[in-house]
Amino acid sequence: MMWKKKENKDLSHAGVGHVMPLWILLAVWGALIVFTYLTVAATYVDLGSFNLIIAMAIAAVKASLVILFFMHLLYDHPFNAIVFISALFFVAIFVIMALMDTAQYQPDLIP
């Protein structure tokens, strides 16, 4: 059986996807560099159990910047943002559960 390609007469999505100005991409790249520096600087400060929380928060902000700007989720359908936020929520739940379990049977492993 031969498949026929359906012709799309709607030209609103023809050509290249969403094009972002170079200054926005460079600003996001600069923010990622700053957050990377903050991540490294946070390792030199002893805050006890808050070091892990700070590192995870910085990583979440960096991941959000990459997904919003470099993967163009900011300009995509709102449903995709809901899927992303719910996925982050479930990943956070799984990480918290794993850390709580580790704290119970190996309390010396997590400071």
Tens of pLDDT, residue by residue over 29-45, are 999 999 999 999 999 99
Longest CA–CA separation in the chain, Å: 67
Please tell me which residue, 96 or 3, carries the higher pLDDT value: 96
Residue 50: the pLDDT is 84
- Domain-located, residue 1: no
Mean pLDDT value across residues 66-71: 90
Tens of pLDDT, residue by residue over 42-55, are 999 998 878 888 88
35: domain range?
A: 21-105
Mean pLDDT value across residues 61-75: 89
Please calculate the CA angle 45-48-54 and round it to the nearest 5 degrees.
65
- Domain-located, residue 16: no
Q: What are phi and psi of 71, to 5 degrees?
A: -100, 5
- Domain-located, residue 86: yes
Q: Express as a percent the part of the chain with pLDDT over 90.
A: 30
Overall domain count for the chain: 1
7 pLDDT above the threshold of 60? no
- Predicted structure pTM score: 0.69
- Domain-located, residue 12: no
- Domain-located, residue 79: yes
